[in-house]
Amino acid sequence: MKRVLVRGPLLSQSGYGEHSRQVFQFCETQKDWNLTTQILNWGITPWCINSDIENGLYGRVMSKSGPVNQKFDITFQIQLPNEWDENLGNYNVGITAGVETDRCDREWATTHREKMNLVIVPSSHTRSAFIASGTGNEKTPIKIVPEAYFADILNEPTSDPISDVTTSRNFLIVGTLTSDDPTSDRKNLVATIKWFLETFQKNDDVGLIVKTTKGRETTIDRELVRKLLRSIKQGVQNSSPPKVYMLHGSMTRQEMTNLYKSPKLCGLLSATRGEGFGLPMLEAAVAGLPIVATDWSAHTEFLSGDSFLRVKYSLSQIPDSRVDKIIFVQGAKWAEVREGNFKRKIKKCLRDNLSLREAAKTLSQKIANTHSLKVIFECYKRVLSDFLEV
């Protein structure tokens, strides 16, 4: 039996948490592996400790938690590169989404990369950022294994969570508010909401569903988000803005399936400045939603066809306020969406929704075949072939 460690934010309600749990599930498929988990925090994001949900996945993660005072045969460390520890195993795999800009910290791309036997990233975008930031002499290979959608999204909806909203044509935004400063918010949620409100002024039948938090699932967090949404709405001058609905906190897989597949939804919107992968966009595409999103970074690697309305952008240096010398480095660039083009694309998404829905069915079938857990597990087997054959 091989002693295997999965180290990461395995209980966190975050993108890294989801990524960690997919790695854990892959490891479960290897019959001769004796698994141990080391469960870490991910920022201020909340944990889920309900052992029964997702067919007992969280319970299995917790049941494998144990001491790491031994040398493992292989470790999977789903963390930022500066947190990888080469002393934990004989063969160490560092897994990260890297950064969402065009480059990463030089130490990540050199010293920390070289500590690992293998680095796995979820996109060509992230891999390119590592390569561009290194010296070109690094020996540790960087392999790409995308993330998978959750299987329940292929199910039929069991209800409509937005059936009570008074607007019949609605758009969805999914994402965490990553900064109080709109110019530094990587997800660019404030601008996305503001431009939507300006575009559909005096349109009583169009609404916006915003599923977001500021990182926590508390009452205080909910009120801060509500206050922000009100301030954005009040900032739209001389208008009768469309309705905005807030969804806050965790939702089950089936609830998210029901949301994505609501007949009252027209599409998913994102004026993101950059994505290391973009899991909500993958999920929305599998659910058959048209998507209006920035035509830059990782999500463009799986979105395609007429149902992906590509928004033009310019690459700009990140603001100094965003530089933390860890994830965001001086001189890094991300995408700044062109406001006029974004507004034209969301108008098109509403106007041509029936035809875009048909195109979205084609993309849904494609991604359902390329990004299932089964297919992603096969990707892990391929990139780990040298170790698995030992």
Domain limits, the chain: 2-148+372-388, 151-370
User: What percentage of residues in the chain have a pLDDT greater than 90?
Assistant: 87
**pLDDT tens-place string over residues 10-66:** 999 999 999 999 999 999 999 999 999 999 999 888 899 999 999 999 999 999 999
Distances (CA, A) of 269 to 170, 195, 208: 11, 11, 10
**pLDDT tens-place string over residues 125-135:** 999 999 999 99
The yes-or-no verdict on residue 389 having pLDDT over 70 is no
| d(C-alpha 64, C-alpha 380), whole Å | 21
Instruction: Note the pLDDT of residue 22.
Output: 98
**pLDDT tens-place string over residues 189-232:** 999 999 999 999 989 999 999 999 988 889 999 999 999 999 99
| d(C-alpha 126, C-alpha 321), whole Å | 22
| d(C-alpha 296, C-alpha 310), whole Å | 9
Instruction: Note the pLDDT of residue 235.
Output: 86
| d(C-alpha 93, C-alpha 251), whole Å | 31
CATH class of 2-148+372-388: alpha beta
The model carries a pTM of 0.95
Q: Phi first, then psi: give them for residue 190, nearest 5 degrees.
A: -60, -45
SS3 317: strand
The region of weakest confidence among 101-115, 206-220, 228-242, 341-355 is 228-242
Biggest distance spanned by C-alpha atoms of the chain = 69
**pLDDT tens-place string over residues 64-74:** 999 999 999 99
| Mean pLDDT estimate for the chain | 95
Mean pLDDT of 84-108: 96
In angstroms, the first-to-last Cα distance of the chain is: 12
The CATH number corresponding to 151-370 among 3.40.50.300, 3.40.50.2000, 3.40.640.10, 3.30.70.3270 equals 3.40.50.2000
> What is the DSSP-derived secondary structure letter of residue 151?
G
| d(C-alpha 23, C-alpha 379), whole Å | 11
**pLDDT tens-place string over residues 140-186:** 999 999 999 999 999 999 999 999 999 999 999 999 888 778 898 99
Instruction: Note the pLDDT of residue 180.
Output: 74
Cα of 201 vs its chain's centroid, Å: 30
Label residue 250 by pLDDT band (50, 70, 90).
confident
Which contiguous run of DSSP H or E holds residue 16? helix 15-28
Which contiguous run of DSSP H or E holds residue 333? strand 333-337
The yes-or-no verdict on residue 308 having pLDDT over 60 is yes
User: What percentage of residues in the chain have a pLDDT greater than 70?
Assistant: 99
| d(C-alpha 199, C-alpha 344), whole Å | 9
The region of weakest confidence among 20-34, 229-243, 271-285 is 229-243
Do 2-148+372-388 and 151-370 have matching folds?
Answer: yes
**pLDDT tens-place string over residues 358-380:** 999 999 999 999 999 999 999 99
Positive or negative torsion for Cα 332, 338, 343, 349? negative
Both tokens assigned to 124: 């060509």
Distances (CA, A) of 30 to 3, 26, 35, 42, 78: 11, 7, 10, 27, 18
